[in-house]
Amino acid sequence: MMHRGLFAFLSSRFLPAMGETLEKACAPGRSAMRQHGKLGIRALAALIALLCFGAEVLGSAAGVGAQTQSPTWSVPIPLSNIASSSWFPDITADATGRLHVVWASTVERKPPPGTPLGTERPTSYDVVEYTTSLDGTDWAEPNEIIAFRQVNGGSIATRPSLLADPNGTLHLAMVNFDVQYSRARIDRASDAGSWTTPVKISTNGDGYYSSLARDSQGIVHIAFTQNLASLNCAICYHVLVRSSADGGANWSNLTDVSVLPQGAAKPKQLVDDAGGLHLVWEAGQGGGLGQVQDPTSVMHASSVDGGKTWMLPYQFPSPGGRARNISIGMDGDGRLIVVWLGLPSQQIYTSISEDNGLSWSSPFPIEGIVGYDTRLDDTTVATDSAGNIHLVTVGWVDAEQTQLGLFHAVWHADTSTWSSPDIVVSYSGDAPEWPRLAISEGNKLNVVWFVRDAAHIFDSENGRYQIWFAQATVEAPRVPTRNLPTPTVTPNLLPPTDEPRISTPTAAPDLAGTNLTLALKPVDNENSVLLIVAKSLVIPIALLLLALAYIRYRH
Whole-angstrom distance, CA of residue 143 vs CA of residue 132: 10
Domains of the chain: 4-62+523-554 (no CATH), 77-502 (2.120.10.10)
pLDDT at res. 502: 59
- Tens-digit pLDDT profile for residues 43-87: 444 444 444 344 333 333 334 454 567 899 999 999 998 888 999
Tell how far CA 457 is from the center of its chain: 25
Q: Which residue has the higher pLDDT, 487 or 91?
A: 91
- Report the number of secondary-structure helices (H) and strands (E) in the chain: 7, 30
pLDDT at res. 121: 61
Would you say residue 38 has pLDDT above 90?
A: no
Q: The dihedral of CA 20, 26, 31, 34: what is its sign?
A: negative
Confidence tier at 198 by pLDDT (50, 70, 90): very high
Whole-angstrom distance, CA of residue 258 vs CA of residue 239: 5
Mean pLDDT of the chain: 81
pLDDT at res. 510: 39
- Tens-digit pLDDT profile for residues 320-350: 789 999 999 999 999 999 999 999 999 999 9
CA distances from 39 to 17, 48, 553 (A): 14, 14, 13
- Tens-digit pLDDT profile for residues 449-485: 999 999 888 888 888 899 999 999 999 999 999 999 8
Instruction: Note if the pTM is more than 0.95.
Output: no
- Tens-digit pLDDT profile for residues 248-267: 999 999 999 998 888 999 99
Rounded to the nearest 10°, the torsion over CA 29, 32, 33, 34 is 80
